[in-house]
């Protein structure tokens, strides 16, 4: 599957999963020649087609495509410029993650072992006006150590080596946000204690050595 087809595939997956509604959100992928393929502005991700994909250089200059790139491309380009290991970015508005973002709360309670080992926590970037340089500036404190960031009063951005990796991060964080909200209804989630975390940290080190 080529990169354009992957972009179409995961755009539709974001729509099917409910991570985006109407024309919300945007996805992009970096090519081997350091060009960027991204979803065009006002694209319905559930009905996306090849003509809805724009090719730009790393500074955002359009190289091909009949449509205009998303105004949120600045966020994507900032991530690519500061993380050479990242080749895919997915910005969405998942329901439960967006609830945390709207409440001004990071997803930083350590409740599930798997989430702790794989992601740790999801920081909250301060509110920034969408489509402006404020958005990439807001994630600057977190971009080196995190691959998933909440955007206050906005949504979620996830990035990784591939579109699949970025999508799966989005999926996992959204499920975790939902679990935390449901657990609160039941009286509140019980966080793992320091001794348990120490054992998990040891396990994580062992796994990395294999």
Q: How far apart are CA 208 and CA 101, in angstroms?
A: 32
Reported pTM: 0.95
Contact by Cβ (8 Å): 76, 59: no
**Which of the residues 72, 114, 144, 174 is marked catalytic?**
72
Q: Tell me the pLDDT tens digit for each residue of 78-99.
A: 999 999 999 999 999 999 999 9
Which residue is listed with tokens 């995961």?
A: 10
Sheet with 36-39: list strands edge to edge: 62-64, 53-56, 36-39, 26-30, 88-92, 155-160, 148-151, 124-125
CA distances from residue 90 to 68, 110, 151, 197, 205 in whole angstroms, order as listed? 18, 24, 13, 30, 29
Strands 124-125 and 148-151: parallel
CB atoms within 10 A of CB 74: 19
| 72 part of the active site | yes
Band of residue 209 on the pLDDT scale cut at 50, 70, 90: very low
CB atoms within 10 A of CB 26: 26
Q: Tell me the pLDDT tens digit for each residue of 171-206.
A: 999 999 999 999 999 999 999 999 999 999 998 654
Long-range contacts of 56-59 (CB under 8 A, 24+ apart): 58/34
Q: Please state the φ and ψ torsions of residue 103, each to the nearest 5 degrees.
A: -85, -5
> Is the confidence at residue 126, as pLDDT, over 50?
yes
């Amino acid at each position: 599957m080529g990169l354009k087809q992957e972009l179409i595939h995961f755009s539709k997956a974001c729509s099917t999963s409910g991570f985006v509604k109407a024309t919300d959100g945007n996805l992009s992928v970096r090519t081997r020649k350091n060009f960027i393929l991204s979803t065009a502005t006002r694209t319905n991700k559930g009905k996306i087609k090849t003509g809805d994909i724009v090719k730009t250089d790393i500074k955002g200059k359009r190289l091909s495509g009949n449509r205009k790139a998303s105004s949120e491309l600045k966020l994507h380009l900032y991530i690519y410029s500061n993380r050479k290991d990242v080749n895919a970015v997915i910005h969405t508005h998942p329901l439960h993650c967006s609830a945390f973002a709207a409440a001004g709360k990071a997803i930083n309670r350590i409740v599930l072992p798997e989430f702790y080992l794989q992601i740790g926590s999801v920081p909250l970037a301060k509110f920034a006006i969408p489509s402006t340089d404020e958005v990439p500036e807001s994630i600057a404190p977190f971009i080196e150590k995190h691959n998933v960031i909440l955007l206050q009063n906005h949504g979620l951005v996830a990035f990784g080596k591939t579109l699949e990796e970025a999508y799966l991060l989005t999926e996992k964080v959204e499920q975790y946000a939902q679990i935390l909200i449901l657990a609160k209804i039941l009286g509140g989630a019980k966080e793992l204690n320091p001794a348990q975390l120490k054992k998990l940290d040891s396990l994580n080190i062992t796994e990395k050595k294999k």
